Amino acid sequence: MGYRSTTSLEADCFADRDGKSDKATEGMGKNTAVKPAKKRLTAHRASYLVHSFIGLKLSLLFSVVLVTGAIAVFAEELDWLIYSEMRATAVGDKLNEGEVFDRMQAAFPGVGLTGYSTAADRKYTAAHAMMTLPEGGFKKVWADPYTGDVNGVTEFLTVGEFFSILHRNLFMPLIGRAMVNVFGVLCLIGLITGLISYRRFWRGFFTLPRWRAKPRVFLGDLHKFIGLWSLWFVLIIGVSGSWWFYQNPLVKYDLAPQFIPSKVIDPGLTRDDLARLGRGVPEPLSSQAIVDAVKAHDPEFKIHFLVPPEHNGMAYTVRGTKHDLLTPKWTSSYFVNPFTGEIIGERLAENLSALQRVDWAMVPLHYGTWGYDGIGDLLVKIVWFVFGLAMAGLSISGMIIFYQRTRNAVQKTLPDADIKRKLKKTWFVLRPWGGPMGGFKYLNWAFLAVIAIGINIGFKIQSEGTSGSGYQYISQDIGAWTISLNATLGLLEKDLDPIQPGRATTLSAFIKSGDPEAIKFMYLNTRKPRTNRAPGSVVHGSIGFLHANLPVPKNLKQEARLWLTIEDWDGNFYRTSWPLMPDGQATLDLRKNTELTNDLASNTELSESSEKGRM
């Protein structure tokens, strides 16, 4: 069987279009006693073996990445068709982008709104912002950019968002992005080895597949035909994916040096800037005033995103573009003092170095968003979608071709008895070394199972946020506020042990009572602060997702405590602490006590109901 399979497979690969090699192979198959001569390992044959290995061993995961990537090209358009909240009727001129955001915030007091997308390049699409609920969870709010009216609320994981995240990181936050980037490298290697193994490939551009031939022959011709006409697209995906692979995991985990200029820290407010505001809670400017300040400074700037400051030391970030070639629409930014409207910094695409421009160009090239808006954007996306499916077809057809080439040889080795025949056929599929993927089949299925678990966690996060998981630090009164904390290793790692020596953890803060605006800064630390000038990591974010990324010491003591420090606008400091590790009283491990988690959730619902009744 081994000789028959190998000879048949190689003969099909190297066969001329007149089919002579097929006939020779068939003749050889009838005389299994004749051992074929051992072939010399040439560059041509080695390239074929590498090309086949890449296309077969991870074909399931490869297909998931490619198919979801093709769908993600039309993620926005797909959601626009499904969700009526996303649609807007073009009547007159659009309102000031900041004014629409202000109206949205007025319609939803007491919740966090951030990441406002203006839909400036979309005529019939509503603007939207991310909503973080006080008790945890994420949604999207949509508003008509022409009237400022709120259209409604959708889940964060819309259909398009689901496929986009699945393509970007496979819902596997620790290694998902790196894995997807690995496929970019494999695409590039597959492209090069495919061209080397396909002799005189340039002759095949205008040679149509033999659709009247046997299915295996037709699929082989179609595989080569699609591959040739997809060369330019595979090259773009391969180069951009390889570029990102260098950044993650190589640079990220210090396996390679960084050659792109380091990203600088965003401009922010100094202690002196805040001191000039005086005592008492200051009133920040409206988003409309912020937008007016940017437009007065740069009338040509097209605003696409508004990012309110996540703590009082941050600037209000206004992101957009000047239609710079091959850059995403969020590349350029202005940084505005949220209390005075002063432009305190800028980062524009026109000032980037050549290498940074190349780095930014990978995004629109990879995702097909360089058409910007209008009919041009739609045409580019159609091309990217079609060729994305074509790449997925290459992966799937390659695996089918392999199965068809070896099927006849396998059939000849099976016994005549029906039961034994079925058992042996099943064994050929399940054995670690059998089939195109061999032992890699289990790796494929294992990763698919992990992806399914990640998807389930993703939907839980959408509805719950980080609440009700990890370590719960019971509510305490501190100054004029009542605050509880919640520790998770990360959003998609909320069911793992959140406190691990030497690793950072995510601490979320929930303000149960008191005015959040009266807090100037909130800090967290695993050591008791010795001075008020450096009390720990700053808590930042929006209501419902106030958090800090807190490093955990490598040498963690059992009696270690978690310290919370609050500074108000009058210069007063307040401090409290909890046992860092669960003690069953002040600090609870919610992962081990589902009944306790349910009780806490019920108590939260009862308290919310009573508060609504009092209102």
Q: What is the pLDDT of residues 379-420, one digit of tens each?
A: 999 999 999 999 988 888 877 777 766 665 555 555 666 776
DSSP 8-state secondary structure symbol assigned to residue 270: -
CB 496 within 8 A of CB 471: no
DSSP 8-state secondary structure symbol assigned to residue 585: S
* Whole-number Cα distances in Å, 517 to 280, 312, 374: 11, 10, 41
Compute φ and ψ for 35, nearest 5 degrees.
-85, 120
Q: Quote the tokens at residue 366.
A: 């990879």
The ranges of the chain with pLDDT < 70 are 1-39, 404-417, 420-422, 424-436, 438, 466-468, 491-492, 494, 592-615
- Residues carrying CATH 2.60.40, the chain: 466-614
CA distance 478 to 539: 15
Q: What is the pLDDT of residue 182?
A: 93
Q: What is the pLDDT of residue 10?
A: 38
Percentages of the chain per state (helix, strand, coil), in multiples of 5: 45, 20, 35
| pTM confidence score | 0.81
Q: pLDDT (tens digit, 9 = 90+) per residue, 186-237?
A: 999 999 998 888 888 888 888 888 888 887 788 888 888 888 999 999 999 9
CB 357 within 8 A of CB 349: yes
CA distance 541 to 21: 66
**Quick one: which of 495, 507, 508, 505 has its CA closest to 591?**
495
CB 181 within 8 A of CB 252: no
Burial 185-196 (b: 16+ CB within 10 A, else e): bbbbbbbebbbb
Q: What is the pLDDT of residue 301?
A: 95
Q: What is the pLDDT of residue 446?
A: 86
Q: Does domain 466-614 have CATH number 2.60.120?
A: no
Q: What is the pLDDT of residue 203?
A: 83
Q: Quote the tokens at residue 506.
A: 């995510």
CA atoms within 13 Å, Cβ hemisphere of 271:
4
Q: What is the pLDDT of residue 205?
A: 86
- Residues carrying CATH 3.10.450, the chain: 271-348
Q: Assign a CATH topology to domain 271-348.
A: Nuclear Transport Factor 2; Chain: A, (3.10.450)
CB 131 within 8 A of CB 107: no
Q: What is the pLDDT of residue 260?
A: 85
